[in-house]
Every structure is written in C-alpha cells, then in structure tokens.
C-alpha cells in the first residue's frame, strides 16, 4: 500500500489504485517535520534512555547501600501513582490550572501574567 496512491476513498476498490513507486517515501523524507521528528526520536533513544537508566541505577544502588534519609521519600514517590486515583489527580490539576489557581498565582508573584480565562 505504501507504494500506491491509495486513499480512504479507495477502500471499496483497493485494486483500482495506481503504482507510484518510491514517490511516497521521497515526499516523506523531504518533509522537514518528519525529518525533525526522526531526529528527535534518535536523540531520545541515544541520549535520553541511557541517561535515565544510569540515573535509575545510581539511585537504586544508593538506596540499597543504606541511605536512610531519602528511603522514605523514594518509597512514597514510587507508590504514589498506585494509590492515587485518576479522579483525584484530575481534580488537583483542574484546580492548579484555574485562572485564580496556584500556577497563575505563582506566576503573578514573579511578574508574569498567566492565563486569564
């Protein structure tokens, strides 16, 4: 299908499409938005994932080696998504994003006008 000019209108007659060869791929790789998306994905895979794994391993080793001060904090952070219902989270975020909510109040405190309505 990727080497034809098939559209959603051709669903009833899929054998009536024309062969266009690699024109679809040439158009795809010529699109700057697609190229940017591929580069962003490669950057995430090459930099983001290894960095995340190294940080996670370092934290796991640190917690396993006997750091007592932060152990409770990490346990709470780890289990919070399990015990927090999605409704409660939605209510909190809705309150935060209201025009007179905490985010706009914090922005106003540093001189930035937030969302008004």
Please report the pLDDT score of residue 43 as a whole number.
Answer: 94
| pLDDT tens figures, 5-56 | 888 777 778 778 888 889 889 999 999 999 999 999 999 999 999 999 999 8
**Residue by residue, what is the 3-state secondary structure of the chain?**
CCCECCCHHHHCCHHHCCECCCHHHHHHHHCHHHHHHHHHHHHHHHHHHHHHHHHHHHHHHHHHCCCCCCHHHHHHHHHHHHHCCHHHHHHHHHHHCCCCCHHHHHHHHCCCCCCCC
pTM of the model: 0.48
Please report the pLDDT score of residue 39 as a whole number.
Answer: 95
Using 50, 70 and 90 to split pLDDT, how confident is the model at 115? low
Please report the pLDDT score of residue 117 as a whole number.
Answer: 58
């Amino acid at each position: 299908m990727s080497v034809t000019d098939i559209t959603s209108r051709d669903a009833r007659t899929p054998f009536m499409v024309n062969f266009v060869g690699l024109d679809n791929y040439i158009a795809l790789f010529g699109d700057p938005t697609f190229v940017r998306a591929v580069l962003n994905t490669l950057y995430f895979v090459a930099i983001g994932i290894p960095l995340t794994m190294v940080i996670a391993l370092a934290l796991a080793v640190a917690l396993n080696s006997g750091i007592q001060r932060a152990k409770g904090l990490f346990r709470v952070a780890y289990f919070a998504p399990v015990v927090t219902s999605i409704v409660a989270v939605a209510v909190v975020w809705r309150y935060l994003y209201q025009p007179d909510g905490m985010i706009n109040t914090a922005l106003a405190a540093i001189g930035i006008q937030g969302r008004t309505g």
